[in-house]
Structure 1
Amino acid sequence: MVLLRATENLTSPAGTYVLRDELLLATPLPHPTEAPIQSPNPLATTPVPQTAGTTLSVVSLNSRVPVPQLYTVNSSTSDNSGSIPVSDPLESLSEPRSSIDTEGGGRVSGEGTSNSNNGGSRNGGYTPAFGEGNSSLRAVGGKKDTVKRIKPKNNIIKSNSSFISRVVTHDTLNRRLAERGPDDVFAFANVSRAFQWLDLSSTSKHDHLTKILFTRAHALCHDVNVITRSSNHIDVIIGFSTGDIMWYEPISQKYARLNKNGTINPSAVSQIRWIPGSENLFLAAHVDGSLVVYDKEKEDASFSPEGNGALPNRPSSSQIAESSLHVSKSVNSKNQKFNPVACWTLLKQPINGIAFSPDSKHLAVVSEDGTLRIIDYLKEQ
């Protein structure tokens, strides 16, 4: 049971916060087909499959998010007088950084960001898109409609998939969606084998708009794409204990499954994040120590490491051992018809959490061994 409790005041080192609501997210009972756990030992150190995880996301439909301005020091000067403001790469979240981000419905933009004249790469303000320069990742057929987003193909309410046990929708779902405003706020939460969609702008916030119950897969994590969200479209990705990943669009109640039955990686997804600035690409951290980049609109195929030909200018074996990052498939690979887009392994340690840096140039990875590693994911090293 997860309780989001509202108290009058909450004091923290950063300040005082006022909590207004109390939401109860009940943990669903195990599915009848799940085998019961016999006498679990809380002191056991033997690794077991991860089956529990709770993540809550609060999403505003307002497409503009105020982002503080970053400052950088011009390296050509010896003092700090050369400090000039540069545009944060996340400032214009509604505009992809390059044509790489346009596959499957995005926009084709020019070189660099829309703010590249305000500092640009000369001052470190420009962050290239992940995989920029690989023509195999570009959209096929040229420019596409920038307003009508591509949605998953399957209707989750009418689904007969054994992966989904039950879908419960609110009686007034259609009316509440029709009455939603540009400043409405939604919440998404995964609790055990349930995924819930809540309307925080409603007076009855505890009543879910949609509640999805899965058969034997436990939802461990999820993430919402902030650059594609609008009043009629929200892209959500969900990672499961079975290794499966779901791309879910709640407004249309459509979904698609990726890494189905562990086709690419059978281990649980401990954390999942959209690639900064991308409409299609996201990164999933698996508990076997793998970091896999998927494209939400690509089909899966059985994956085999591509070997030395996958990464141009591949570092030596000693350099790979030092960096602790092994590239099984590079984003620069020309084989981009199917998922995965890229695949890396980090010392075979279970990964507990990942986070992108504010400048979108690095990735922080926390492993089960207690180590924090910083990866230059744009260069795959």
Structure 2
Amino acid sequence: MQSHSRCLSISIHTLDCKTIARRLCKSAGTASFVRVHLKPEILGSRTRQLATGNGKRLKVWHAKMVPAKETVLRMSSSSIPTLLYFIYATACIGESSGEIKKDEKLYPENFTRILDRLLDGYDNRLRPGFGGAVTEVKTDIYVTSFGPVSDVEMEYTMDVFFRQTWVDKRLKYDGPIEILRLNNMMVTKVWTPDTFFRNGKKSISHNMTAPNKLFRIMQNGTILYTMRLTIRAECPMKLVDFPMDGHACPLKFGSYAYPKSEMIYTWTKGPERSVEVPKESSSLVQYDLVGQTVSSGTVKSITGEYVVMTVHFHLRRKMGYFMIQTYIPCIMTVILSQVSFWINKESVPARTVFGMYP
């Protein structure tokens, strides 16, 4: 007796691998041939599911079907596993470099996993290279506002961006982005240098509208940490040459707890370019800011020897200001006080006016 072959037509409107496999395997048990319609509206999806059916372990690994138009396949039910393999192979071969990059989109969950992995087992109480190499912290300063300068209090104030860079190999990572740009919340979870200003009277870290801090992690473990600070520091002055004097106001900073055997400081861009003071940042009334010089040294104490970085801001007093404010008024007062002696002694009212003026 002749057997009649039965052909079943099915349409696939989804890229859910589980659904595809279930329908194909179900068809395999009821028909000799299966006509499969692949609809073009399922473009661009990507699945992450495994599927089984009819006792056959059919698996689809991230199948991505990219038909230009609706595709019709007529095939034997025994060839269903081959169809699934064909779908997978076509997707893999058809992916271009642009599609691969698209697949590596900057999904937030990817970076959440990177950060969680970086902080897993991380101890922010220990400096990088603890027990081994010395930690090198590179620094540079950008001055946004310099002044005022007080002769009475012998101090000066300035607004700066204070940048520090170091390498923490514990924070190395592999990922689709070279730099992780993070906010200030990450600062509290990793080790940061305990830098302080040795001659500072008062320093303010700005927190409006949020803490003014920049934190970045590079793939090789390099850390960039920037803060916006307002610093009021002492400036020793010798006023014996007033008002033709000049002063060098220092800014000294270094580590509070780590001696030079554990942590050192260097200038990021070298001594010449690591401290930037734009001309528009200084508008002092009594002084001209003529330049700045940097240096580094060490200071010894009973707890160890520490690296100290120093910036000297060179000030020169404005003669024009004091000529107008001090010299010319004094000269005019002396001259006017002598005029009364040249007035006729009988002109009492006039002599009285000039006599009372001084």
Q: Please give the TM-score of this superposition, normalised by the length of structure 2.
A: 0.20
Greater share of residues in helix: 2
Greater share of residues in strand: 2
Name which one, 1 or 2, has greater alpha-carbon Rg: 2
Q: Please give the TM-score of this superposition, normalised by the length of structure 1.
A: 0.19
